[in-house]
Amino acid sequence: MDKMPAWADAVLVPLISILLAAILSALVILAIGESPVEAFKLMVDGALMRSSGWGYTLYYTTNFIFTGLCVAVAFHAKMFNIGGEGQAMIGGLGVALACLFIPFPHWSVALIVATLAAAAFGAAWAFIPALLQAKRGSHIVITTIMFNFIAAALLNYVLVNLLRPVGAMEPATAGFPAATHLPTFQDMFASEGNPLFRGSPANVTFFLAVAACIAFWFLIWRTKLGYEIRAFGHSESAARYAGISPVRITVVAMLISGGLAGMMALNTTMGEAERLVLNATEGAGFIGIAVALMGRSHPVGVFLAALLFGFLYQGGAELALWTSIPRELITVIQALVILFTGALDNMVRMPLEKLFLATRRRSS
Amino acid sequence: MNDTPAIELKGISKAFGPVQANKDISIRVMPGTIHGIIGENGAGKSTLMSILYGFYKADAGEIWVNGQKKDITDSQAAISAGIGMVFQHFKLVQNFTVLENVILGAEDGPMLRPSLARARGVLKQLAEEYELAVDPDELVENLSVGHQQRVEILKALYRQADILILDEPTGVLTPAEADHLFRILDHLRAEGKTVILITHKLREIMEITDTVSVMRRGEMTATVKTAETSPEQLAELMVGRKVLLRVDKTKAAPGQVLLDVQNLRHVDDAGVERLKGVSLQLRAGEVLGIAGVAGNGQSELLEVLGGYADATGTVTLKGAPLPLSGAGADGSARRAAGIGHVPEDRQEEGLIMPYTAWENTVFGYHRDPRYQSGPLMNNALIKEEAQDKMTRYDVRPPNPNLAARNFSGGNQQKIVLAREIERDPDVLLIGQPTRGVDIGAIEFIHQEIIRLRDKGKAILLVSVELDEIFSLSDRIAVMFDGQIMGERMPEETDQTELGLLMAGVTEKPEGRVIDAVDASLQEKEAREAEQHD
């Protein structure tokens, strides 16, 4: 069957979707009596025009890359993992345990061990829903979302009853030892006369996220396992014919997915807070769904989509800070972007496809 | 005789996106005749009939019914114009009775009882007139496929259709049921009804139709009187070049037993026993054809032998037993042991449709160490080999970077065949090798199968096309209801005998053949329904 060119599918569709979301957002801002142009300027200023703004934008981007890849890998196996949130929370527990109880000589060693711990904890949290899906047919959407609640409750219990320092009033662990503190962008790039990224939370984990994108591409398109995951995602009956075990692929894909979600905690817990707090994930697990959808489950797409949502998060925070536009409206704008790029994808795609076919027929 | 055509199509055109499904098609079908429409898959037959039945709207052209121009915008309009359609996949409510299905959508008023009573009378009359007997109070789910088809015909006649369109009606019938269907069509013709029969089977066209139209790539290439044509001529018109309808082959020289299957049993997920003690032996250098109507355990037999359905019993390959469940019972293990498998459904099983051709040429063999380089797959080598395979198997276009879904059915099948044959298996399982494949490719595929046989390989061929079974097999086993009903040598049997075995009738019936067949099929249906609960 003929389709529109790949570049239109990958670039034009999301761009138009974002544009529509922006127009609608502008109308909403107009409706509450603010200037959409001013608001947009503020967002760009706050998120992209200063290095500290970038520091925040890239910090959020790091989160969304991990959770976006988490959802994307499951998508390739035709599973909808909406448990990234819970998996990231439990991943945070792994990070905290590693940082608190292992005496590390240097942050680089700490990062490697904490990465393994985060991935292992996140994967473990995805393992049970995966097994239930593979062996019992319990739908992964239902089980993973329930596991989000269980994760939140578990974390609450652990923080309040087990890891809270004696006498502290807050449900959080003690601060991590200094040897586990990750270099921030400020540490890396700022110098005497050039105070870059001042006070912003972006840290070395960002590069880990970029590396994860590259590894993801190799895994999915260049390895035997990726070949099998995609094959299974396209047709389970064909996979069985080829001797690919549905149970194995379901479990392995979910372990990778959960591991990626868990690794998000490196950024929030080890890189930024330097202790484990309740709700460190702040809904990034769910944003990952939109990121994966918008990024077409491709690492380049996921990276770009994560960047967009990083911008929206940081720009939104600036808006709330400097204007009377309420915080809730920022959520509305983010929701509109998700709505248009994710749920209403076909609304843009179908007419565009028709347009391309029509012009092609005329020219042929 | 009446000169007004019952149906006249004038210049019908229809495009789906860039695909021109119907191009300026005109036909005239006279009342009281059976008109055949023949063509390969994708030739546009079904599209044309869907336009006539109001499912699609033509881009251009006119439909005339009994001398009047009709604007058929939906199926209601078609029905009121006197057109009835029997689809390939029946549109029946499974848990309604026959009577309820017949009146569905054609009730007389808000209350059901009077409608049902009237329908009962009409049905009784139709049954006598056209040999369309079906128990009106039976649930449709308990009916055999042949009877379900009769319900579809009854539905159309109940709506007073004068023009009946049947889309590939014999695909799911045993030969005896097909014969009976043709008797029914004969009766309809005698009563002055008009029948349009869509099929890809030349034999059916020659047997029953008065006139035949041939379609190729969306165009009507010819309309001829059946009596004045021949299967060879029709095939040529369908393909656009001369084709060989017979397979050239020498007598088989079977060697040792390669695959020995004993007492194979398989129960499906719904708890229905699909294989009930199947035993067969497959020798080197022979084609064993499994004949049977779809749904009698052939698919399950292939799945079990192919390693992806559990079973009990014993299967030995060259003397070594194969595991039938648990570890070691999967497609990879079977391939490693030397069993190749061209599955029945290439789109759902044999190929990953969005994968490129080159990715598909290693599907199932992708774990071969030869295709790995370090942690990655050696895509360069796979592509190179794919190009070579595609050239040698005449896959068109020979472009390994195209997605499988962009190839025609015949070329998709060649990709699967190339993949499986090139691995040089001892035993090759082949299901429906030419389903949905254009005639040109059929020739090629049949030759490849015989070539493989002549190399001393053992081939298990499952096909619902009896003609194909006859032309390829050195030995024929007939499957019915999960059992082998008997084995015959092709030169010592005929379609009639096999047809009865396919319906589970092992002895020559005393009364009418169709009654014995019906009874046997109905029993099978009842047995299955019982296991289901």
| Cα→Cα distances B171→B37, B130, B294, B468, B523, Å | 15, 21, 9, 14, 21
Q: Smallest Cβ distance to A242: which of B18, B354, B363? A: B363
Asked whether residue A268 is domain-assigned, the answer is yes
Q: Which of A322-331, B125-134, B397-406 has the lowest mean pLDDT?
A: A322-331
The 10 Å CB-count burial string (b at 16+, else e) for B110-135 is eeeeebbeebbeebeebbeebbbbbe
A179 in a structural domain: yes
Averaged pLDDT, B470-496: 94
Q: Are B501 and B484 in contact (CB under 8 A)?
A: no
The distance between the two most distant Cα atoms of chain B, rounded to a whole number of Å, is 79
Q: Is the pLDDT of residue B347 over 60?
A: yes
The model's pLDDT over B308-321, given as tens digits with 9 standing for 90+, comes to 999 999 999 999 99
Q: What is the pLDDT of residue A1?
A: 40
CB contact under 8 A, B330 and A243: yes
Cα of A241 to nearest chain B Cα, Å: 6
Distance of residue B340 Cα from the nearest chain A Cα, in angstroms:
11
Q: Would you say A241 and B346 are in contact if contact means Cβ atoms under 8 Å apart?
A: no
Structural domain includes residue A121:
yes
Nearest CA among A33, A95, A127 for reference residue A262: A95
- Which residues in chain B touch residue A235, judged by CB atoms under 8 angstroms apart? 348-349, 352-353
- Looking at the DSSP bridge assignments, the partners of residue B63 are B9, B70
DSSP one-letter code for B296: S
Q: What percent of chain B has pLDDT over 90?
A: 71
Per-residue pLDDT band for B526 (boundaries 50, 70, 90) equals confident
- Select the residue from A9, A78, A219, A227 to test the B interface by mutation, using most B Cβ atoms within 10 A: A227
Check CB contact under 8 Å for A242 and B379. no
What's the CATH number where A244 sits? 1.10.3470
pLDDT at B1 over 60: no
Q: Could A228 and B366 be called an inter-chain contact, meaning their C-beta atoms sit closer than 8 Å?
A: yes
A241: nearest CB among B331, B354, B372: B331
Residue type, B92: L
Listed in sequence order, the residues at least 6 apart from A84 whose beta carbon sits closer than 8 Å to its beta carbon are: A67, A70, A71, A257, A261, A264, A284, A285, A286, A288, A289
Contacts of A223 in chain B (CB under 8 A): 375-377
Closest Cα to residue A270, out of A198, A196, A197, A178? Answer: A178
Q: Which candidate from A224, A237, A360 shows the least CB-CB separation from B349?
A: A237
CB within 8 Å: B367 and A218: no
Inter-chain residue contact B366 with A237, CB threshold 8 Å: no
Mean pLDDT of chain B: 92
Task: Find, among A335, A304, A331, the residue nearest to A320 by Cα.
Answer: A331
A30 touching B (Cβ < 8 Å): no
Q: Which chain A residue has its CA at the smallest distance from B309's CA?
A: A240
B327/B305 Cα distance (integer angstroms) = 15
Cβ pair A54, A48 in contact under 8 A: yes
Q: Return d(Cα A87, Cα A78) in angstroms, integer.
A: 19
- Shortest alpha-carbon distance between residue A229 and chain B (Å): 12
B7-239 maps to CATH 3.40.640.10? no
Q: How confident is the model over A151-205, as pLDDT tens digits?
A: 999 999 999 999 999 888 899 999 999 999 999 999 999 888 888 888 899 999 9
pLDDT, tens digit (0-9, with 9 covering 90-100), for B263-273: 999 999 888 99
- Residue ranges per structural domain of chain B: 7-239, 257-338+425-531, 356-422
In B354-434, the DSSP E strands lie at 372-373, 376-377, 427-431
Residue matched to tokens 């499974």: B94
- Please, which contacts does B397-403 make with residues 24 or more away whose CB atoms are closer than 8 Å? B399/B357, B400/B356, B400/B357, B400/B358, B400/B361, B401/B356, B401/B357, B401/B358, B402/B356, B402/B357, B403/B353, B403/B354, B403/B355, B403/B356, B403/B357
- How are beta strands B475-480 and B312-317 bridged, if at all? unpaired
Asked if A243's CB is within 8 angstroms of B308's CB, the reply is yes
Contact yes or no for B38/B238 (Cβ under 8 A): yes
Q: Which residue of A has its CA nearest to B327?
A: A245
Cβ–Cβ below 8 Å for A243 and B307 = yes
Domain that holds residue A160: 59-303
For B190-245, write each residue's pLDDT tens digit.
Answer: 999 999 999 888 889 999 999 999 998 889 999 999 999 998 899 888 888 877 76
Contact between residue A25 and residue A332 where contact means Cβ atoms under 8 Å apart: yes
- Asked if residues A302 and A34 have their Cβ atoms less than 8 Å apart, the reply is no
> What is the average pLDDT across B408-416?
92
Q: What percent of chain B has pLDDT over 70?
A: 99
Q: In chain A, positions 191-230, which contact chain B (CB-CB < 8 Å)? A: 218, 222-224, 227-228, 230
Alpha-carbon gap, residue B441 to B469, rounded angstroms: 17
Comparing C-alpha atoms, which of A198, A255, A252, A206 is closest to residue A229?
A252
Q: Say whether B355 and A218 touch across the interface (CB within 8 A).
A: no
Give the number of domains in chain A: 1
pLDDT of residue B109: 85
Q: Which of A237, A240, A357 is opposite residue B17, by nearest beta carbon?
A: A357
Contact A1 B343 (CB under 8 A): no
Task: Please state, in angstroms and as integers, the Cα–Cα distance from residue B496 to each residue in A187, B131, B486, following that order.
Answer: 88, 21, 14
Q: Give chain B's contact residues with A (Cβ, < 8 Å).
A: 17-19, 306-308, 330-335, 341, 343, 345, 348-355, 359, 363-364, 366-367, 372, 375-377, 379, 405-406
CB contact under 8 A, B17 and A242: no
Q: Flag if A238 and B351 touch (Cβ within 8 Å).
A: yes
Q: What is the CATH number of domain B257-338+425-531?
A: 3.40.50.300
What are the CA-CA distances from residue B360 to residues A98, A133, B397, B401, B426 (Å)?
Answer: 44, 27, 15, 10, 21
* HEC secondary structure over A298-364: CHHHHHHHHHHHHHHHHHHHHHHHHCCCCHHHHHHHHHHHHHHHHHCHHHHHHHHHHHHHHHHHHHC
pLDDT greater than 90 at residue B353: yes
Q: Which pLDDT belongs to residue A211?
A: 98
Question: Tokens for A131?
Answer: 């097994």
Under an 8 A CB cutoff, do A234 and B355 touch? Answer: yes
3-state helix, strand, coil in chain B (%, to 5): 40, 25, 35
Task: Report the residue from B307, B351, B377 with minimal CB separation from A227.
Answer: B377
Q: Where are the beta strands (DSSP E) in B309-406?
A: 312-317, 320-321, 339-342, 372-373, 376-377
What's the average model confidence in pLDDT over B280-285? 96
| pLDDT, average across residues B280-309 | 95
Q: State the Cα–Cα distance between residues B37 and B51, nearest whole angstrom.
A: 14
Inter-chain residue contact A234 with B364, CB threshold 8 Å: no
pLDDT at B389 over 90: yes
Q: Residue B102 has which token pair?
A: 């017949």
DSSP at B356:
B
Going by the DSSP 8-state scheme, the letter that residue B406 receives in this structure is G
Cα–Cα dist B432/B465, whole Å: 8
CB B341 within 8 A of CB B428: yes
Residues of A in contact with B366 (CB under 8 A): 224, 227-228, 242
Looking at residue B514, what is its pLDDT? Answer: 86
* Alpha carbon distance B39, B220 (integer Å): 9
Chain A residues inside the 8 Å CB shell of B353? 234-235
Q: Name the residue among B421, B48, B31 with its Cα closest to residue B188.
A: B31
A240 vs B contacts (CB less than 8 Å) = 308, 331, 349
Query: What residues in B contact A357, CB-CB < 8 Å?
Result: 17-18
Cβ pair B332:A224 closer than 8 A: no
Instruction: Report the pLDDT value the prediction gives residue B2, as an integer from 0 to 100.
Output: 64
CA dihedral B26, B30, B36, B38 (to 10 degrees): -10
Cα A20 from Cα A68, distance rounded (Å): 22
pLDDT band at A12 (very low <50, low <70, confident <90, very high): confident
Measured between CA atoms, how close is A115 to chain B, in angstroms? 22
Of B350, B372, B376, the CB nearest to A241: B350
SS3 B314: strand
pLDDT at residue A355 above 90? no
Query: Is residue A169 less than 8 Å (CB to CB) from chain B?
Result: no
Q: Residue A143: inside a domain, yes or no?
A: yes
Q: How many CA atoms lie within 13 A of B42 on its CB side?
A: 15
* Subunit contact A238:B363, Cβ cutoff 8 A: yes
3-class DSSP assignment, residue A50: coil
Under the banding of pLDDT at 50, 70 and 90, the label for residue A320 is confident
Residue A213 lies in a domain: yes
| Nearest neighbour of B352 by CB, restricted to A222, A224, A234 | A234
Q: Tens digit of pLDDT for each residue in B106-156?
A: 888 888 899 999 999 999 999 888 988 899 999 998 898 889 999 999 999
Q: Please check whether residue B43 is in contact with residue B215, taking contact to mean a CB–CB distance below 8 angstroms.
A: yes
Q: Which amino acid is at A129?
A: P
* pLDDT tens-digit series, residues B21-80: 899 999 999 999 999 999 887 788 888 999 999 989 999 999 999 999 999 999 899 999
Residue A333 maps to a domain: no
At B251 the three-state DSSP class reads: coil
Enter the tokens of residue A126.
Answer: 């995805």
pLDDT of residue A348: 84
Domains B7-239 and B257-338+425-531 share a fold: yes
The residue type of B483 is Q
pLDDT at B533 over 70: no
- Name the H helices within chain A: 6-7, 13-31, 36-44, 51-76, 84-101, 107-131, 140-157, 185-189, 205-222, 224-234, 236-241, 246-265, 284-294, 299-322, 327-338, 345-363
Amino acid B492: pLDDT: 94
Give chain A positions within 8 Å (CB) of B403.
none
pLDDT, tens digit (0-9, with 9 covering 90-100), for B247-266 = 888 898 899 999 999 999 99
3-state secondary structure B119-182: HHHHHHHHHHHHCCCCCCCCEHHHCCHHHHHHHHHHHHHHCCCCEEEEECCCCCCCHHHHHHHH
| Pairwise CB contact (< 8 Å): A243 & B331 | yes
